[in-house]
Homo-oligomer: A and B are copies of this chain.
Amino acid sequence: MALNSTAYVILGLLDGSQRTGYEIKQIVDRSTRFFWTASYGQIYPELGRLEAAGLVEGTERSQGERKRKEYRLTPAGRQELQAWLRLAPEVLETRDEALLKLFFAGSLPDAAPKALEHKRRLHAEKLARLREIEPAVAEHATPYQYATLRFGIALSEFCVRWCEEALEELPGDGEPSNRTKRRTA
């Protein structure tokens, strides 16, 4: 059937519960966002395509004047989700701007500690957000969903620690004006 990744996020979130596009977006933002994002501009058109393909089914649940369309998985949609789950995952990508700046830190004095400090801060912020949602996930989500969260937490902790250690090991650390290493190769 060749669906895109957003489609599987939607199918997965609809398995067992009926949800609106808005609710799907809310859940993504509080859970999969940390390793897989989706925007309204993807979710709403994709819901339409999935409905046309018979993988989800939408029901109007408008209360009064307020429109609201709840989607649920069809048997075909569930099969599609399971078929995807059986395939070996391939995508494993990262975009880390702080690391890119560290990579090029030879082009500007003092860029390395700055990059490491910022990287540390970004991981610490992510860690804080993950810890915030932890109690709710531990109670309400599946053990697998909780496992992905614990992975995110452990990973962020590791990254924060690594940055701190790298900052300490940096030659000339502490003393701000001591910038030696330069490069022209």
Supposing A82-B108, A184-B16 touch, asked if A89 and B119 sit within 8 A by C-beta, the answer is yes
**A1 CB to closest chain B CB, in angstroms?**
17
Instruction: Give this chain's copy count.
Output: 2
Is A34's beta carbon under 8 Å from chain B?
Answer: yes
Please give, as numbers and ranges, the residues of chain B lying within 8 Å of A119 by CB-CB distance: 89
Find residues 8-31 in chain A having any chain B CB closer than 8 Å to their own CB: 8-9, 12, 15-17, 31
Interface SS, A side: helix
Q: Is the CB of B97 within 8 A of A5?
A: yes
Supposing A12-B103, A34-B94, A94-B34 touch, asked if A144 and B112 sit within 8 A by C-beta, the answer is yes
Supposing A36-B99, A91-B97, A102-B147 touch, asked if A107 and B184 sit within 8 A by C-beta, the answer is no
Q: What 1/0 mask marks residues of chain A from 91 to 126 whose CB sits below 8 Å from any chain B CB?
A: 111111111111111111001101100110011001
Is A159's beta carbon under 8 Å from chain B?
Answer: yes
Report the contact-size class of chain A (Cβ under 8 Å from the partner).
35 or more
**A91 CB to closest chain B CB, in angstroms?**
4
The 4 closest A-B pairs by CB, nearest first: A89-B97, A12-B104, A91-B97, A89-B98
Partner of A107, one of B78, B90, B105: B78
Please give, as numbers and ranges, the residues of chain B lying within 8 Å of A142 by CB-CB distance: 105-106, 181, 183, 185
Is A85's beta carbon under 8 Å from chain B?
Answer: yes
